[in-house]
Chains A and B, each alone.
Chain A
């Protein structure tokens, strides 16, 4: 190959790159949104974005939150999506460390409570919810015990063999509950979370592989044999809504709750950064935020969004949920899970 043809190819490449760069400024036909499996909005809600911008939203799902982040990390050199929703505060540091996001905050970010935002502006909080111990009211009545009041009460003999939790290695509420115990019984104190779990196992706690197995199979409200389960503060309104009931059959222990916050961010390497930003704005808009509670059963982060009555009435709102710095979670997750597993197996 002679010098002239090399120059020609180089010039062609430059022109080509400029052309692609320019075309990315133009509005694309579609934009790809990657979420976990639990993402759901009423029919037509995403369509409002298309009406507004002329861009259609292609929605792809990537399994549970952990699997989805793996997918995003594995494809970061050639992203499969422009926007990711559903990375929570137990995983967000990992996502940031892997350089997944372009820093961006939705235009309506001032509607979001300050303590839910990240220290740096990598992603926008979209939903939050509390992972708490739920109790089955009549299940406890049958056993003539009162609802537990605190994490500490769960290791008391009266709650022996009553609680089912999830494996933190395979379940996000399981990890959240483990983090709650780490936060409540910090390392360095006389009685730390490891001592707590030794006592909890001695008191007959059962471990399910995921939320579904714990709630749908082992929880006594669903026909299982355990009246206490790690679930969400918003599980009772779901029972009411889908059970067509007027009173909740379950209640929430408001001590020892862990706050999960889910973020949306622009994927680094997208060709449509500007439109991706508009989609993140849209996810924080009232149209989406007000649709979130009865589809995903978590709170919208936009404080100006109106909440449905059934949701407000039956959802417990813990006074002081445990909030943990995402970096601390990310630095320790693996060690916590390994130590927890060792305790569980012994």
Chain B
């Protein structure tokens, strides 16, 4: 009898617990995403006090806008496929081999993430512009957009998939090999199906980034290529056509929502036999393995290393033409010449503060959301999953303006500094969730049940079992959250903010002045931004949750 009663009580408490798990992310997203979004949409469609939906028809039937929507969709698909194709081999070597420079290389994958588009664009033009050193002029072509998307989003797939891959027991592949399967057959029939949740997860993120691509398309797309995101911005800020902008924003979200739902259906939830103790992978042993690792590292150096090296090189070319630290020293002297420049130390400090705050917010909300996704019914979880992902597929202009219209209630947060990390967290939460859920979903239920049977409370069982097992995955999310905030992703460009300049803002201020000195200083500051980000990611990567073995 007693044990029955306690079972009922436990079920009740776990039901309340599950509701709480869903409520925390739902309230956060409800207030900081849905409420601003609905407010700005109503505001945009309101003409003389009445909501006018006539504009929706005009937008849907406009052939130019149809063309933009179609381009947005297909370039996102192509960008995603290319990114996955280039990134999978890198994920493989990170998961399966130990080699020299691995940690630094892994941290370096995130560097492109934080670079301002204009800086990357300048590096690309130095390589493949009209006077580029490769001799190939890609300006104004679709290729340069696709290459830039691969460059920016490479890390998402590499880091997300390798964290998952290293925990798949190689014994499975070995067994297939022992049974006589060729290595391609093993990859196709064993490895790839096992990796599917992680590939699906990360490619959804890449897709959303490419779908809402703004800076890359604006800078490199000339007038020929425009995404919905760029068009929303043009309509809102150039024409002050909030009705058209709101309509496009709603259509963009609906499109993203439909794609995410279809995706969720397609994405079969596989249960992988996970190793819970991951030992350090071996060094490549055969000659084939060694040359494969070398080839993959070489491909990474070409994709990521060359543009980054071009930037580092440019940062040492002084305005006069010689080589030296002139650009770095002018970083300190320019602010004293004109108030238009920002003290770099202050900017770095601000960036680090915002990035830390954004990471903490994203981790707390993201981990709770991941738990909610894993422990609730299919119906609840698929709804919540789409909700969590939506901010990534929503126009940053819309969210930024939504904040302004909505967030003076119940207290006025509109020009508060707290909005900056919150806006970054909206973009970062999907990363935490996407890196955590696949791992959480595969934690063997028996482990937690065993803990419960041994008398642990549900919380304690969760803490001692799941949390430690997913620690690695959470840190993958944390690294992205940090990088997203360092790179000032999302709505913060469109909110009115108190003067607390960050590194990207300081770079824009430098680029916004004529003269070789400010330009050189901007490149130098970009290199500093890369270095700080890489260092921070190295630190995050080296934190390993206490567990036996190496996790």
Contacts and interface: CB of A to CB of B under 8 A. Distances in A.
Task: Please say whether chains A and B are actual partners in one complex.
Answer: yes
Interface of A: 32, 34, 37-38, 40-43, 58-64, 66-71, 73-75, 78, 80-81, 94, 167-170, 207, 209, 211-213, 215-217, 221-225, 231, 235, 238-239, 241-244, 250, 294-297, 333-334, 337, 341, 344-345
A71 B337 contact: no
A40 B338 contact: yes
A169 B236 contact: no
Contact of A60 (B131, B219, B337, B496): B496
Contact of B118 (A81, A212, A297): A212
B239 A170 contact: no
A211 B414 CA distance: 29
A242 B339 contact: no
Given A69-B240, A239-B515, A59 B498 contact: yes
Given A216-B519, A244-B517, A211 B512 contact: yes
Interface string B112-150: 000000100110010001110000000000000000000
Nearest to B217: A209
Nearest to A330: B240
Contact of A78 (B125, B339, B408): B408
A80 B237 contact: no
17 contacts: A37-B509, A37-B512, A38-B340, A43-B339, A63-B494, A63-B496, A70-B242, A75-B408, A94-B240, A212-B511, A213-B118, A216-B511, A217-B121, A221-B514, A239-B515, A295-B340, A333-B239
Interface in B366-418: 401, 404-405, 408, 412, 414-415
B514 A238 contact: yes
B173 to A, nearest CB: 48
B339 A42 contact: yes
A216 B415 contact: no
B512 A40 contact: no
A64 B496 CA distance: 11
A222 B519 contact: yes
Contacts of B339: 40-43, 295
Contacts of A207: 222-223
Contacts of A337: 238-239
B438 interface: no
A80 B415 contact: yes
A73 to B, nearest CB: 7
B192 interface: no
A223 B129 CA distance: 12
B354 to A, nearest CB: 15
A26 B509 CA distance: 37
B516 interface: yes
Nearest to B222: A207
Contacts of B40: 74
Contacts of A250: 514
A331 B121 CA distance: 35
B237 A70 contact: yes
Given A78-B408, A212-B511, A242-B518, A58 B401 contact: no
Interface of B: 40, 43, 118, 121-122, 125, 129-131, 218-219, 222-224, 233-234, 236-242, 319, 334, 337-340, 401, 404-405, 408, 412, 414-415, 493-499, 505, 508-509, 511-519, 522
A242 B223 contact: no
Nearest to B518: A242
Nearest to B330: A242
- Give the 10 A-B residue pairs with the shortest CB-CB distance, closest first: A242-B515, A66-B237, A40-B340, A62-B496, A40-B339, A169-B238, A238-B514, A242-B517, A235-B514, A209-B218
A34 B414 CA distance: 13
Contacts of A345: 223-224
A243 B238 contact: no
B219 A213 contact: yes
Given A71-B404, A295-B340, A334-B239, A63 B513 contact: no
Given A78-B408, A212-B508, A70 B338 contact: no
A47 B219 CA distance: 38
Given A74-B404, A243-B515, A334-B239, A296 B340 contact: yes
A117 B252 CA distance: 43
A222 B516 contact: yes
Nearest to A241: B337
Nearest to A81: B496
A79 B241 CA distance: 20
Contacts of A333: 239
B499 A294 contact: no
Contacts of B337: 241-242
A71 B338 contact: no
A66 B493 CA distance: 12
Nearest to A171: B238
A230 to B, nearest CB: 12
Given A59-B499, A60-B496, A80 B240 contact: no
B514 A167 contact: no
Nearest to A337: B238
A223 B419 CA distance: 38
Given A58-B498, A295-B340, 20 more contacts: A37-B508, A38-B340, A38-B512, A40-B340, A60-B499, A61-B496, A70-B237, A71-B401, A71-B496, A80-B415, A213-B219, A223-B519, A225-B131, A238-B514, A239-B514, A242-B338, A242-B514, A296-B340, A297-B513, A334-B239
Contacts of A40: 338-340
Max chain B C-beta neighbours (<10 A), residue from A34, A60, A207: A60
A334 B241 CA distance: 10
A114 B495 CA distance: 35
Contacts of A71: 401, 404, 494-496
Residue with the greatest number of chain A CB neighbours at <10 A, chosen from B219, B238, B334, B522: B238
B471 to A, nearest CB: 39
Most chain B beta-carbon neighbours within 10 Å: one of A40, A69, A207, A216? A216
Contacts of A168: 238
A34 B219 CA distance: 27
A68 B118 CA distance: 21
> Which of B125, B404, B494 has the largest number of chain A CB atoms within 10 A?
B404
A41 B94 CA distance: 50
A59 B498 CA distance: 6
Given A169-B234, A212-B508, A295-B339, A32 B415 contact: yes
A337 B231 CA distance: 13
